[in-house]
Amino acid sequence: MTRITASIDIAAPPEAVWKVLMDWSRYPDWNPTLRAIAGQARKGGKITVSIASPVGTLPIDAVVTRLATNSGITWHSKMKLSGLFDRDHIIELSPDPVGSRITQTQTFAGILAPGASVVATSTVRDGLVKMNAALKERVEGGA
């Protein structure tokens, strides 16, 4: 399994970060990585995540596997058959001395994961870092 993580501190309480993070309708206004999310924001809810990539925006169908208000959300996506290429996107929020710490993690597993992760690791990490920085700017800027 490949695991890619990026974290950032945000000078605001987790509740303020969560409010921006879960306002999916405004993602096009600030989020350079996840251009849109549509669907049901609940455990078991089906969502479509539109991810910015070097070849354009890629829609990914996923299922929310964890939703904990003010502390995190996880969604799982897979190719048509489970076990070929499975991916989890994990977003965790926690209070810290500055206000909040957000940690995003992508995991890749399955038969095709080793080859894909070699190609995607730097691109995915860059996307997580950019999204974290944009979220920080959005929350701290009060937009």
Rounded Cα distance, 18 and 135, in Å: 10
Dihedral, 109, 68, 31, 64 alpha carbons, nearest 10 = 50
The count of structural domains within the chain is: 1
- Residue 88 within a domain: yes
What CATH number has the domain bearing residue 121?
Answer: 3.30.530.20
Phi/psi for 27 (5° steps) reads: -55, -40
Its domain, for residue 130, covers 2-23+64-141
Asked if the structure places residue 117 within a domain, the reply is yes
Q: Is 108 inside a domain boundary? A: yes
Looking at residue 105, its pLDDT comes to: 96
Residue 90 falls inside a structural domain: yes
Cα–Cα nearest to 128, from 25, 6, 3, 34: 6
Amino acid at 21: L
Mind listing the pLDDT tens digit for each residue in 16-49?
A: 999 999 999 999 999 999 999 999 999 999 999 9
- Within a domain: 99: yes
Q: Confirm whether 49 is domain-assigned.
A: no
Q: Is the pTM of this model over 0.85?
A: yes
- Residue 30: phi and psi, rounded to 5, are -140, -20
pLDDT tens column, 46-88: 999 999 988 889 899 999 999 999 999 999 988 766 666 688 9
Q: How many residues does the chain have?
A: 143
Q: Token digits for 31?
A: 């989020």
